[in-house]
Amino acid sequence: MSKVVIKLGADISTDIIYPGRFMATVLPNETPQYAFADNVDFNKKLKAKEIPAGSVIVADTNFGCGSSREQAASCLKGYDLTVIAKGFARIFLQNAVNLGLNMVICPDIEAKEGDEIAIEHGKVVNKTTGKSFNIIPFPKAQQSIIDAGGLIPYARAKLLAQAKK
């Protein structure tokens, strides 16, 4: 079970997730420090490690709209956060799959900051309210990449398995 650490609205742009002024920093081990940099309180909690790995961000539709910056997904992956959104912007979604960011598409999600959330049997269950919400599953290929931790670990595992044959 995980806790919702922030509830966001619709159209959260990559500039909100990872402000453009930090674009000179591209290394995945450096990008997390700038996650939600303009939300000073939340950023401070992330950097102080007050938010445990596996915590949940809940958002409305079009999460990750705007630019194609990969750092928006990378900075969230660095904190091992899960994003549950009613919908994701197309380019952000593909960047996040390629990096292995934990994401869930849940069009009817109802949750607020502090709610306890579990993902069970194709549903998001809000343990705080007792309500459950259907998930739109990712295609098998995308889910396999996410489960492997991203495209590079996925390809590496496939190549190693093939080499052993």
Query: How much is the pLDDT for 26?
Result: 77
Nearest Cα neighbor of 78 from 32, 47, 43, 147 is 32
The pair of structure tokens assigned to 112 is: 């607020």
Query: How much is the pLDDT for 22?
Result: 93
Query: How much is the pLDDT for 125?
Result: 98
- Domains of the chain (ranges, CATH numbers): 2-164 (3.20.19.10)
- Distance, in Å, from the CA atom of 160 to the CA atom of 165, rounded to the nearest integer, reads 9
Query: How much is the pLDDT for 111?
Result: 98
Q: For 74, which DSSP code?
A: H
Block mean pLDDT (10 aa), the chain, length 165: 96 96 86 96 96 97 94 95 97 97 98 97 97 97 96 95 86
- The H or E element that residue 66 is part of is none
* CB 87 within 8 Å of CB 36: no
In the three-class reduction of DSSP (H, G, I as helix; E, B as strand; rest coil), residue 147 is classed as: helix
Backbone φ, ψ for residue 55 (5° rounding):
-65, 160
- Distance, in Å, from the CA atom of 24 to the CA atom of 53, rounded to the nearest integer, reads 26
